[in-house]
Structure formats: structure tokens, C-alpha cells
Amino acid sequence: MRPIKKQRLLLIALMLAGIGGAAAFALKSFNENLMYFFSTTDVVSGKAPGDALIRIGGMVVNGSVERPGDSLLVRFKLTDFNRDVPVEYTGILPDLFREGQGIIAKGRLNGQGTFIAEEVLAKHDENYMPPEVAATLKPDTQNNAQ
């Protein structure tokens, strides 16, 4: 083999090894960081995994928001108008968080079925409802209409 071809081959081999390594690493990291979305009914009926980081969505139940004590702890209930899930969050809520608004929370379930949120998202638009939340609510509104 001519030296130039040998070098070219070496370059290609190096690159394939690099890309292969990157791909393996990427897929591993990808699997670890997939977050599934669940409706509140899913959570109550036990479809959501107990320990994994997940996202849940729903409407904030009217009159359910309370701030016990002097800390930044907030408790509220999320609903898809079928089942409710109690949520706890410590921190500052987004501007558009309010009762009756559709939100998404990211976090984990604890042993008692309470969702411990690490992050609460509300969209910056007054009429907005996250598509995931809208989808979980839709079958229900149809039932109401009938």
C-alpha cells in the first residue's frame, strides 16, 4: 500500500472510531435522559414509574394552592378533570402560574403518591394550554359535551 493511502486509511479509521464512540455515548446518554409525560389519571392508576424523572401535566385545581409555613414550599393539586395528583414545589413559580391554568411539572413521585416537582412550567400566553395537557383533557371534554 502506498503511504498516502495508508495514511488516508488511518484517518478514516480514526474518524470511524471517534464517531462510533460518540454514537454509543450519545445513545446511552439519550436513554438516560428521556423524560416521559403522564397525565394525572396515569399517575393515580400507577402507570408512572416510582423513581424516574417524569413530566406530568394538567390544570391547577381551583382553591388548591397553599403555602404552608415560612419557606418557599407550595402545595397544589393538578387534575385532568378525572383524577387529582398532589404536587409539592419549593421555589418561585413562573409568572403565569395560577389556579385554573394548564401547567407542566417536572419531577419525581414520592412513596405517598405526591409529586415532588423540580421545575414548574407555564407558557407565556394567557390562553395557552400545553399540547400534552390539551390532549389529556380532550376525551373528557367530549364526554361532557355528550
Distance, in Å, from the CA atom of 33 to the CA atom of 39, rounded to the nearest integer, reads: 19
Q: Between residues 71 and 142, which has the closer beta carbon with respect to other proteins?
A: 71
Distance, in Å, from the CA atom of 104 to the CA atom of 57, rounded to the nearest integer, reads: 4
Q: Between residues 126 and 146, which has the closer beta carbon with respect to other proteins?
A: 126
Minimum Å distance from CB 139 to other proteins?
A: 14
The angle formed by the CA atoms of residues 50, 52 and 58, to the nearest 5 degrees, is 80
Q: What's the one-letter identity of residue 58? A: G
Minimum Å distance from CB 63 to other proteins?
A: 17
Contact set with other proteins (CB under 8 A):
4, 7-8, 10-11, 15, 18-19, 22, 25-26, 29-30, 32-37, 53, 55, 67, 70-72, 90-93, 95-96, 123-126, 130-132, 135
Minimum Å distance from CB 76 to other proteins?
A: 13
Minimum Å distance from CB 111 to other proteins?
A: 23
| Buried/exposed code over 93-117 (b: 16+ C-beta within 10 A; e: otherwise) | beeebeeebbbbbbbbbeeeeebeb
